[in-house]
């Protein structure tokens, strides 16, 4: 048996960096799941009695009524786990950044990814100071996009230098286009969730009819606008949320039309595993979206919808 040659210090450092990056990616995915659970539970998905309980926390705050302790106890453990895991991730990201920028010879790709990862971690840490008390959809959208970007950068850093590949400009352009479409859909989904628009309409036709009746209130798509429920309404319905629902649902075919050619190009360029994974994620995301169209609005479906979007964005980022 031929003896295995020991790794050089540079190879050992890069292997350690990749392992830390993989750990960071897994923890960021866990943070994304916990964050989605906290956000959706706060909105009222999965509450009882449904749908009267949906959005009650925000309605009470808008009427000057404090949240009950019993409501807060259900998510206390998830909030604690979120803070602990986020702190661990911040430490790991600092280690990654220091390791990458002090390496000799300097690996520019690793250094850029690590610095970008650190900038995102610090941004999310600052945003987290406002997340608990804020009612603005912009804060939830910032958390969504920042978390997804951290997952993508961590994964790309973990894969950096594993294997050289030929340039694939056509695939990279298609992946970038699809990633942009997915990012827009994530923003729209975050707007629907954070503006309590789930009960604003029931179908695409209903959303279009309701939005038309209200004069197409495009200001409802402003993420810096706090959703307000009508004081006299018995049901927790945000009247302007129908337009956000309509745009979110109408944009889904755009994402699909952009993703299918990307999967085909990935298959043509030899990235067949990525092509299959892309098609599987699209199919699962479509199934989760249809699941969310049921009147009950299951919390499990919403969480799955969030995680699949994170994995889809990460896969596309790795195809760039």
pLDDT at 180: 97
pLDDT at 195: 86
Distance CA 40, CA 28 (A): 18
Distance CA 29, CA 148 (A): 8
- Tell me the pLDDT tens digit for each residue of 50-84: 887 787 766 666 655 555 544 556 678 888 999 99
Q: Over 90: is that where the pLDDT of 154 sits? A: yes
pLDDT at 67: 53
Q: Give 237's contacts (C-beta < 8 A, 6+ positions apart).
A: 199, 200, 229, 230
- Tell me the pLDDT tens digit for each residue of 161-191: 665 566 789 999 999 999 999 999 999 999 9
pLDDT confidence band for 276 (50 / 70 / 90): very high
Distance CA 240, CA 197 (A): 8
Question: Is 202 strand, coil or helix?
Answer: coil
For the chain, give the percent of residues with pLDDT over 70: 87
pTM (two decimals): 0.90
Neighbours of 38 (CB within 10 A): 18
pLDDT at 280: 97
Q: Please report the beta strands in 103-164, taking only residues with DSSP state E, as ranges in sequence order.
A: none
Phi, psi of 199 (to 5 degrees): -100, 10
Q: Over 90: is that where the pLDDT of 267 sits? A: yes
Neighbours of 26 (CB within 10 A): 16
pLDDT at 51: 80
Name the token pair of 294. 């049921």
Q: Give 259's contacts (C-beta < 8 A, 6+ positions apart).
A: 178, 181, 182, 278, 282
Q: Give how far Cα 15 sits from Cα of 12, 157, 159, 165, 243, Å.
A: 5, 11, 10, 19, 49
- Tell me the pLDDT tens digit for each residue of 277-289: 999 999 999 999 9
pLDDT at 274: 95
Distance CA 134, CA 121 (A): 19
pLDDT at 2: 52
The radius of gyration of the chain from alpha carbons, rounded to an integer in Å, stands at 22
CA angle at 32 for the pair 27 and 37, rounded to the nearest 5°: 125
pLDDT at 187: 96
- Tell me the pLDDT tens digit for each residue of 103-151: 877 788 889 999 999 999 999 999 887 766 677 899 999 999 999 999 9
CA angle at 138 for the pair 63 and 90, rounded to the nearest 5°: 115
**Alpha helices for the chain (secondary structure H):** 9-43, 56-62, 69-101, 108-131, 137-159, 169-194, 204-213, 241-268, 272-291, 299-318
CA angle at 32 for the pair 112 and 296, rounded to the nearest 5°: 150
């Amino acid at each position: 048996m031929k003896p295995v040659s020991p790794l050089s210090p540079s190879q050992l450092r890069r292997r350690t960096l990749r392992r830390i990056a993989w750990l960071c990616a897994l923890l960021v995915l866990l943070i994304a799941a916990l964050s989605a659970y906290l956000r959706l539970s706060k909105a009222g998905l999965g509450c009882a009695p449904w749908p009267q309980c949906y959005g009650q926390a925000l309605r009470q705050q808008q009427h000057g009524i404090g949240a009950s302790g019993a409501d807060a106890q259900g998510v206390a453990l998830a909030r604690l786990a979120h803070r602990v895991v986020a702190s661990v991730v911040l430490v790991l990201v600092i280690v990654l950044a220091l390791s990458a920028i002090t390496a000799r010879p300097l690996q520019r790709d690793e250094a850029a990814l690590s610095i970008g990862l650190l900038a995102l971690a610090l941004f999310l840490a600052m945003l987290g100071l406002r997340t608990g008390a804020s009612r603005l959809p912009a804060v939830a959208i910032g958390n969504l996009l920042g978390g997804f970007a951290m997952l993508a950068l961590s994964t790309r850093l973990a894969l950096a230098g594993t294997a050289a590949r030929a340039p694939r400009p056509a695939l990279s352009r298609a992946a970038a286009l699809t990633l942009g479409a997915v990012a827009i859909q994530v923003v729209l989904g975050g707007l629907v969730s954070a503006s309590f628009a789930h009960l604003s309409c029931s179908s695409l036709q209903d959303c279009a009819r309701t939005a038309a009746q209200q004069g197409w209130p495009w200001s409802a798509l402003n993420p810096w606008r706090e959703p307000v429920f009508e004081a006299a309404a018995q049901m927790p319905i945000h009247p302007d949320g129908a337009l956000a629902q309509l745009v979110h649902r109408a944009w889904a075919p755009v994402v699909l039309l952009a993703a299918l050619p990307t999967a085909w190009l990935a298959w043509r360029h030899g990235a067949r595993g990525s092509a299959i994974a892309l098609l599987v994620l699209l199919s699962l995301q479509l199934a989760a979206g249809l699941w969310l169209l049921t009147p009950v609005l299951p919390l499990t479906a919403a969480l799955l919808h969030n995680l699949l979007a994170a994995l889809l964005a990460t896969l596309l980022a790795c195809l760039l």
